[in-house]
Structure 1
Amino acid sequence: MKAAVLISPNKISLCDVADPAPNQGDVLIRVRAATICGTDIRIYRGRKTSGVRYPSVLGHEFAGEIIDHGGHESLKVGDRVGLCPFIACGHCHLCKTGRENLCTEGAAVGYEIDGAFAEIIRIPEQAVAAGNLRPLPDHMSYEEAALVEPLSCVLNGQNKVGLSSDDTVVILGVGPIGLLHVHLARLRGASRIIASDPNANRREAARAAGADAVVDPANEDVVARVRDETGGRGADVVICAIGVPALARQATELAAFGGRISLFAGFSKGETAEMDVNDIHYRELTVTGAFGLSRKDFDRAFDMVASGQLNLKPMITHRFALDDITDALSVAEGGLAIKVALLDA
C-alpha cells in the first residue's frame, strides 16, 4: 500500500509499504478521507516532538471502510466507520475518574499507532472493544466524519469553561479549530460571539459560521473593540484557539470580572507565555487548559454532525490525493485553506 511516511522533521515521503498485519481482533480500514490537523503540521515541522516516532505515519482525523472486521460479529466488510483515535487504558486513576482524555497509559492513532495518511490503517482490538468505532449513517460523508475528532476536542474545551447561552465569547484565532469553536458556540446559543484573526478569509468564514462581530488584530485594538462590543464589560469566555503566546496575556485583558479563559491551543516546544496574575486575582478569572477528547466527547460530537445540528461541509475547502501529501501540507500550512482533506483516489 501507499503511505506518507514521516522520516524526520520537514521530511515526509510517499512510500510503498507492506499492508498492516492485524493481530487477533484488530480491524483494517481503507481510508476514504483524512483531514490535516494543525498538530500534524507542528509535528511535520518539528515543533512538536512528544510522542512522535520516526519513521511513522501521521493522521488522526479520518473515516473509511472496513476491509477486515477482525472477527467482530457487530462489524462487516464494507461498513463505513469513523473512529475516536485516542485509546485510553481504562484502568488508571484518570480513566476511572472520568478524565480518560488525560490518560498517560493510552495510545493514539497518528502518534503511537500509525495513522491515516495511508491507504489502509489498523485499528487495535482494544479500541474496537472499547467502542471507539462508530458506523456512519448513509447521509454522512467520510469528510464530515473526519471532522468529528477536532469537533470533539472543541466540545471538551467549551465544556471545561462551561460555555452557555448567557455568555459573550471571544475566540482568538479562527483557523479550523477556531471556526469549530464558532460553530459550536453558536449551536450552544452564546449571546454574542466575537472572532479575531488577521486573515480576512478566515474572518469572513467566522462570520458565515455565526460570529456576530469579527476583528482584525493587525489593524484594530482588540481590547478596545471587545470592550465596545460588550458595553465595556469584557467577555465572559475567552478562547485562545491558536498557539500564540502573546494571546495568553491578551486573554486576561479581554475577560470580564469572573470571566473564564481557555488556553485551548498548544504552544510549540519550548514556548512559554505571560499572564497578568493581578488580573486573574482581583477579577477572579478562571484559566483552564483543554487537551484532546474522550469517547464521550466523540460520541456527542458525532451525534451533532450526524443529526444535522452542525453543518461542517463548508469547512473542507481543499482536497488532494494521498500522492500529493506535500502539496496538501503546504496548503494547510499556508493559511488560504480552512480544512484540507486527503481523499481516496
Structure 2
Amino acid sequence: MRSVLVTGPGETTVVDVDAPTAGPRDVLVRVRACGICGSDHMYTTYGGIPPRQGATPLGHEPAGEVVEVGAEVEGVTVGDHVVINVMATVDGLLGSGGAQGALSEYVVLLDAKPGEQFRVVPPHVPFSVAALNEPMAVARHAVNRLDPAPEHRVAIFGAGPIGLGALLSLKRRGVAHVVVIDIVPNRLEKALALGADAVIDSRTEDVAARLIELHGRSTGIGLRGERSSTEGYIDAAGAPHVIRTVLGVAGKRAVLSVVAVHKAPVEIDLGGLLTTELDIRLSMGYPTEIFEVTDDIIDNWQKYAQIISDEIPFDRVQDALALAATPGQAEKVVVTFGGEND
C-alpha cells in the first residue's frame, strides 16, 4: 500500500509499504478520508514525531471502511463505516508518533474494541465529514473545559476548523449568545451560517468595545478599565494579541479556555488581573470527547460539511499537504481515498 512518511525536516514522501493484516482480535480499516491538521505541518517541519526516530507515518484524522474483522472481535462487521480514536491505538498514537499513520491506504486496529478504538457511523455520513470527528473532539474538549451555562455569553477567537467546531458544540449545548472573532471575512460569513449570533472583524473593529456593546459591562470592586460581561472566551487562534485582548477586556470571574497552540511565551500581568479573578484553563486533546461529538456529526453532518474547504484525492496528497501548510490558502483540507461508493 501507499503511505505518507515524514522523511526529514520539511520533507514528506509517499512510499510503498506492506499493507497491515488483521489478527483474531484486530480490525483492518481501509482509509477513505483523512483530514490534514496544523500539527502535521509541525511534525513535517521538525522532521519527525517524538518518540519515533527516522521516517514517521503521518495522518491522524481518519474515517474509513472495515474490510476485515478478527474472529474474536464483536460489534462490527465488514463494510461498516468507522471513525477512529487515534489516542487509543495500542501501537502508539496513530499519525502522531505511533507505528501507523492514517495518510495510508489501510490501518489495522490492534486489540480492537468498539467504543474504545473505533465507532461505527451510519453510511449516510460522507467519509470526508466523518473524518472531522477527531478535530471536532478537540473543539468539544475546549468547550467542556470552558463549561458554560446555557445563559452564558461566549466569545471565540479564530474561525478556523477548531473555532467553528467550538461554535457548533456551544450551540449544541444551548449557550445563549456566541460571538466569533477573526480577520478573514469569508470565515466570519461561515461562522454566521453555522449559527454564530454575531461576528467581529478584528481588522476593522475594536474587539473590546464590540464585546461590551454586545454583552454589556462588567462591574466589580477594583476592576480596571471598561470590561465586558462576557462569561467565556475560547482562544482557537494562538496569536499573542488574542491573549492580550482577553486579559484587557475580561470581566469578573470570566473563564478563558485556550485550545490553540502558542509557539512563543505570552506575558501575563497577574497583579493587574487579580481583581477580575479570571480563570484560565488549558485544553489539549479529548480525554472523553472523541465519540461524544460523533452523535452531533451524525445528526448535523450538513453543517459540519461546511467546515471543509478542500477535498483532494490521495494521488495528490503532496499538493494537499502544501495547501494546508500555506497560511490563508485553505480552511480545512481533507484527503480522500477513492469515490464514496468504490
TM-score greater than 0.5 by the shorter chain: yes
Is the CA contact 1:36–1:332 (under 8 Å) kept in the aligned structure 2?
A: yes
User: Structure 1 309/232 Cα, relative in aligned 2: closer, same or farther at 3 Å?
Assistant: farther
Find the aligned partners of 2:47 and 2:197 in 1 and give their Cα distance. 34
Which residue number in structure 1 is paired with residue 269 of structure 2?
A: 276
In 2, the alpha carbon distance for the partners of 1:264 and 1:172 equals 10
* Cα 1:47–1:282 shift into 2, 3 Å: farther
Corresponding position of 1:45: 45
> Which amino acid counterpart does residue 337 of structure 1 have in structure 2?
A
**Partner SS state of residue 191, structure 2:** helix
Q: 1:331: which partner in 2? A: 323
Q: 1:300 aligns with which of 292, 298, 302?
A: 292
Measured at CA, do residues 20 and 130 of structure 1 come closer, stay the same or move farther in structure 2, by a change above 3 Å?
Answer: same
Report the CA distance between 1:50 and its aligned residue: 4.7
Aligned with residue 306 of structure 2, among 314, 319, 331: 314
Q: CA deviation at 1:78?
A: 2.0
Q: 1:29 to 1:318 in 2, by over 3 A?
A: same
Question: What's the offset of the Cα at 1:180?
Answer: 0.8
Paired amino acid for 2:312: F
Q: Where does structure 2 lack aligned partners over 5 or more consecutive residues?
A: 219-227
Separation (CA, whole Å) in 1 of partners of 2:309 and 2:108: 28
Amino acid at match of 2:242: L
Match of 2:86 in 1: 85
Shift of 1:247: 2.0
Distance 1:174 1:53 in 2: 34
User: 1:257–1:283: 8 Å Cα contact kept in structure 2?
Assistant: yes
Of stretches 48-57 and 238-247 in structure 1, the one that deviates more from structure 2 is 48-57
1:213 partnered with 2:214: no
Q: Distance in 2 between matches of 1:133 and 1:163?
A: 29
User: What is the alpha-carbon distance in structure 2 between the residues aligned to residue 237 and residue 176 of structure 1?
Assistant: 19
Following superposition, the deviation at residue 77 of structure 1 comes to 2.3
Q: Is the CA contact (8 Å cut-off) linking 1:153 and 1:291 kept in structure 2?
A: yes
Q: Which runs of 5+ in 1 are unaligned?
A: 90-105
1:260 match: 255
281-290 vs 213-222, which moves further: 213-222
Question: Is the 8 Å Cα contact of residues 7 and 48 (structure 2) preserved in structure 1?
Answer: no
1:343 corresponds to 2:336: yes
Query: How many Å separate the matches in 1 of 2:329 and 2:193?
Result: 16
* Amino acid across the alignment from 2:268: M
Q: Look up the SS of the partner of 1:86 in the other structure.
A: coil
Could you tell me how far 1:119 is from its partner in structure 2?
A: 0.6
Matched, 1:177 2:170: no
Q: Is the 8 A contact 2:140 2:165 kept in 1?
A: no
Match of 2:278 in 1: 285
Q: What's the counterpart of residue 2 of structure 2?
A: 2
1:285-318 alpha-carbon deviations (Å, 9 max, x no partner): 1100011013x31222111122338831111221
Alignment CA distance shift 1:310-1:232 (3 Å):
farther
Q: Which residue identity lines up with residue 158 of structure 1 in the other structure?
A: V
1:15 aligns to what SS in structure 2?
strand
Alpha-carbon distance in structure 2 between the residues aligned to 1:115 and 1:42:
15
Cα offset for 1:107? Answer: 3.5
**Identity of matched residues, %:** 29
Aligned counterpart, 2:110: 124
Question: TM-score, normalized by length of structure 2?
Answer: 0.87
- Equivalent positions of 1:133-172 (< 5 A) are 133-172=118-157
Q: Secondary structure, in 3 states, of the residue corresponding to 2:231?
A: strand
Distance change >3 Å, CA 264–CA 139, structure 1 → 2 = same
Superposed displacement of residue 15, structure 1: 1.5
Residues 1:342 and 1:131: Cα distance change in structure 2 (over 3 Å): same
2:192 and 2:249 mapped to 1: Cα distance?
20
Distance 1:305 1:129 in 2: 18
Query: Measured at CA, do residues 131 and 339 of structure 1 come closer, stay the same or move farther in structure 2, by a change above 3 Å?
Result: same
Q: Secondary structure at the match of 1:297?
A: coil
Cα deviation for residue 326 of structure 1 reads 2.1
TM-score (norm 1): 0.87
What does 1:175-254 align with in structure 2 at a 5 Å threshold?
175-233=160-218, 234=228, 235-254=230-249
Q: Which residue of 1 aligns with 2:59?
A: 59
* Conservation of the 8 A alpha-carbon contact between 1:206 and 1:214: yes
TM-fit CA distance, 1:279: 4.3
After superposition, the Cα gap between the structure-2 partners of 1:59 and 1:236, relative to the gap in structure 1 and judged at 3 Å, is: same
Q: Aligned-pair distance for 1:159?
A: 1.1
Partners of 1:200 and 1:154 lie apart in 2 by: 21
SS at match of 1:205: helix
* Separation (CA, whole Å) in 2 of partners of 1:310 and 1:124: 32
Q: CA deviation at 1:319?
A: 0.9
- Cα 1:88–1:58 shift into 2, 3 Å: closer
